[in-house]
Amino acid sequence: MGIAPKQLGLYVGLLVVGSGAGWASHSYFFNPETEDQDSKLPIATSVLRTTAEPAEAASQSQAQAYPSIDNPNFIAAAAEQVGPAVVRIDASRSVRGVSETFEHPFFKRFFTEELPVDPELPERLEQGTGSGFILSQDGQVMTNAHVVEGASTVTVTLNDGRTFEGNVVGTDPITDVAVVQINGEDLPTAPLGSTDGLAAGQWAIAIGNPLGLDNTVTAGIISALGRTSSQVGISDKRVQFIQTDAAINPGNSGGPLLNAQGEVIGMNTAIRAGAQGLGFAIPIETAKRIGDQLFKDGEVQHPYLGIQMVNLNPEMRQRINDDEDMDFTIEADSGVMVIRVMEGTPAEDAGIQRGDVINKVNEIEVATATDVQAQVETSSIGKALKVEVNRKGETKTLEVKPTKMPNALQ
């Protein structure tokens, strides 16, 4: 009997599949036990960890006297410092769907997914609310891509009540980062920190607009670092998340996650459905790197190899070797095995084959598919990337030139 990709625990590395976005209150919800649940449920916030110069991030914000953790009111001090730079983002988009009559639970109970979308039906307006934070005094704002999905302009409301029309400069669904420009001067800005030195158990403070309740402050701790997209349940994202138990609710998407000093260390993006105390944020280095590219070019070009991978362990090796449909056997019981090479891709052109076990990427050892993905993400499109593989006991070094990820996969 053949092994299906799902049975192998397939990691769709470097190949991104679609995920739906719910607009009711702009927060990612996910159920890790239901593979297709993301396409049906609303969404939240996430982050990928990469290196960036803290000085560069700090230069984007005003000089601040950071609250001291020795201050028993450090949470209030941090909120007071950053709160003016946290904004509410109201977005709307036009959709065409079934009439409101058939949206009634009575009809859904019988028709479920059989209701077609009638092209003759009039468009209706869907509205949603999320959060964001101001990066620069002249009005650069960062938020989640799913918050502004389908909108070219949004309404941005500051803590002091001022309202601006915001232009959506660019969105990157792969990392769930978006940037908005508003016309303003001497606007309050959020000081950016760094995830360097961040550790589980440290304080975490979230500010946002959950359920339309503006400038809500919650606090908790950093629960874990480096949570992969597959662990979080949104495997189509190229992000390694910060996990926190600070309460993150619908509407918090795009708001800042702060450290005890009142510096932004992440952007809130995801919460786990049916669980408490499980929130996730995109590391600020990732969000800032993507945001800078969006402000500069309006888009982000993600490097693409065109392979699917699976993490090896003794049980997986045995299952693969016992499968009659596999035209190879493997000796390694750890590492990252290529389970599929897409046709007409850089990986195929470079000679990567099904069954290859990847040992190094760019001369850096990799142990998981996430490690491979992280190295590819930091590579340059069109520039040779060295990939060392073990093929039937023989070590080979191949040069792959990543291309831009196809739009259909974003």
User: Where in the sequence numbering do the catalytic residues fall?
Assistant: 146, 176, 253
Q: Which residue has the tokens 């090796």?
A: 317
Distance CA 267, CA 253 (A): 8
Q: Are 208 and 87 in contact (CB under 8 A)?
A: no
Distance CA 305, CA 90 (A): 37
Round the CA-based radius of gyration of the chain to a whole number and report it: 22
Q: Are 155 and 166 in contact (CB under 8 A)?
A: yes
Q: What is the DSSP string of 92-110?
A: EEEEE-S-GGGGSHHHHHH
Distance CA 319, CA 4 (A): 11
∠ Cα 409 288 157 (to 5°): 95
Rounding to the nearest 10 degrees, give the CA dihedral for residues 165, 168, 173, 175.
-80
Residue 267 φ/ψ, nearest 5 degrees? -120, 120
Angular region, 363: left φ>0, alpha ψ -120 to 50, beta rest: left
Distance CA 304, CA 341 (A): 12
Residue 365 φ/ψ, nearest 5 degrees? -65, 140
Distance CA 64, CA 78 (A): 11
- Selection from 172, 247, 235, 226 nearest residue 47 by Cα: 226
Q: Which two tokens stand for residue 241?
A: 């998340």
Q: Any idea what DSSP says for residue 330? A: -
Angular region, 318: left φ>0, alpha ψ -120 to 50, beta rest: alpha
